[in-house]
Amino acid sequence: MDVKLIDLKERYNEEKKELEDCFKKTISKGNLILTKEVFDFENKIKKFIKVNYCLGLNSGTDALMMALWVKGIKRGDEIITTPKSFVATVGAIDHVGAKPVFADISDDLNIDPKKIEEKITKRTKAILPVHWTGRVCQMEIINKIAKKHKLIVIEDAAQAIGSYHKSRHAGQFGNIATFSAHPLKNLNALGDGGYLVTNIKKEFEKIKIYRNHGMISRDKVKFFGVNSRLDSLNAAVLTYRLKKLKSVIKKRRANVALYRTCLASLGLGEENIILPKEENYERNSYVMFTNLCRSRDKLQKYLNAYGIQTLVYYGTPLHLHPASKKFNYKKGDFPVAEKACSRVLAFPHHQHLKNNQILYVCEKIRDFYKKN
């Protein structure tokens, strides 16, 4: 049996008619930049997350860079963040000239609040927690630390649309938050896309101009900006998909619940696989389903031979990339993140996954650990 990690083709088949409607509606107007579709999407997101302002941008990476920019982060500033994220988190910090200062993660694979204070120096300006895989960080503790040291909190919520912590949506905790609409996210565009949320009008107004070359009219440039606008077609698609987001996440959560029951009933304990925990006050949107697996590489090969696609998400912590050499970190600096990266494996997980496929994956994992 073939079991795909994700299935975007299936998503297209399911939504063909509605996507074509979005396409026709948008294209027929003959105007594809900063139209009503974009503002409608921003208004819907703002209500969904319960924040004052939202701006549609062309990626989660740009959203992060703009959040740092609008908060006045500049050359020489230090930003405390996690070594277990996608490269865009640290890339954005580097692009504004600031320096990422890593703090190790805890068991939830998110930045460990206990490790933050020891990293604070006179140059620290912000804490940038990442809600990895859609699991919201321990934001109350992080906010307390930030308040005590007068630091800004920038949430990288790229993976966390539809994720809640004590009934508060990701993006409500920090001073500003950024999201990605990359095709692999739960709310995904037909290509790249992103958005940023803030409660501060001035920031909203500044980024609104910045994303459009700094222009306040065709003939007046207030400051030099960038071209980072969410396009109208993707805005229409995202508005349509936002209506379905809750049902998408419900199915994804059901996948995880079934994996959990099935692996437990097959007797697979934490000596082999550690599944993500979920406290009763958490509601993870599970943009991916990653687990820490003993003999990860061998397991991946074994599953692949049975048609089961998995992915290492990601095998190298951010401080050990060649690009991070200039920050002077070394192997062993963040042992929890390093160990997690050496064991992490994403299992097939999407809203079109069938229960019998999940059972098949679990059985093959059980077979592997029986033999190894």
Cβ closer to ligand PLP: 194 or 317?
194
**Does 100 interact with ligand PLP (rule: CB under 6 A)?**
no
Question: Which listed residue (49, 68, 88, 120) binds ligand PLP by CB under 6 A?
Answer: 88
Structure tokens at 92: 């954005």
From 29-37, 84-92, 109-117, 326-334, give the range in contact with ligand PLP by CB under 6 A.
84-92
Q: For ligand PLP, how many residues bind (rule: CB under 6 A)?
A: 16
Report phi then psi at 125, rounded to 5: -115, -30
Q: Please confirm whether the linkage preceding 313 is cis (ω < 30° from 0).
A: no
115, 121 contact by CB (below 8 A)? no
**Length of the chain, please?**
372
Cβ closer to ligand PLP: 59 or 357?
59
Q: CB-based contacts of 313: which residues, under 8 Å, 6+ apart? A: 133, 288, 290, 344, 345, 346
362, 263 contact by CB (below 8 A)? yes
| Binding-residue pattern over the window 118 to 137 for ligand PLP, x denoting contact by CB under 6 A | ------------x-------
204, 56 contact by CB (below 8 A)? no
Q: What is the DSSP string of 126-156?
A: EEE-B-GGGPPP-HHHHHHHHHHHT-EEEEE
- Residue 132 Cβ, how far from ligand PLP at the closest point, in Å? 7
- Residue 313 Cβ, how far from ligand PLP at the closest point, in Å? 9
Cβ closer to ligand PLP: 48 or 86?
86
Question: Which listed residue (182, 229, 252, 343) binds ligand PLP by CB under 6 A?
Answer: 182
Question: Which listed residue (61, 232, 284, 285) binds ligand PLP by CB under 6 A?
Answer: 61
For residue 208, the Cα-to-chain-centroid distance in whole angstroms is 22
Instruction: Select the residue whose beta carbon is closest to ligand PLP and give its number.
Output: 60
Cβ closer to ligand PLP: 77 or 192?
192
Question: Which listed residue (41, 48, 53, 86) binds ligand PLP by CB under 6 A?
Answer: 86
From 54-62, 163-171, 225-233, 296-304, give the range in contact with ligand PLP by CB under 6 A.
54-62
Q: How far apart are CA 79 and CA 98, in angstroms?
A: 7
Report phi then psi at 101, rounded to 5: -120, 115
280, 313 contact by CB (below 8 A)? no
Q: Give residue for tokens 């050990």.
A: 320
**Does 284 interact with ligand PLP (rule: CB under 6 A)?**
no
Question: Which listed residue (175, 180, 232, 351) binds ligand PLP by CB under 6 A?
Answer: 180
Task: Give the footprint of ligand PLP on residues 189-208 (CB under 6 A).
Answer: 192, 194
**Does 85 interact with ligand PLP (rule: CB under 6 A)?**
yes
Closest CA to 185 of 287, 87, 285: 287
User: At 33, is the secondary structure helix, strand, or coil?
Assistant: strand
Structure tokens at 147: 């308040």
**Does 81 interact with ligand PLP (rule: CB under 6 A)?**
no
Q: How far apart are CA 260 and CA 215, in angstroms?
A: 52
Burial of 113 (0-12, 13-18, 19+ CB in 10 A): buried
- Residue 64 Cβ, how far from ligand PLP at the closest point, in Å? 6
**Does 60 interact with ligand PLP (rule: CB under 6 A)?**
yes
Cβ closer to ligand PLP: 143 or 159?
159
Neighbour tally for 105: CB within 10 Å: 27
| Binding-residue pattern over the window 149 to 178 for ligand PLP, x denoting contact by CB under 6 A | -------x-xx-------------------
Query: Which residues are at the interface with ligand PLP (CB under 6 A)?
Result: 59-61, 64, 85-86, 88-89, 130, 156, 158-159, 180, 182, 192, 194
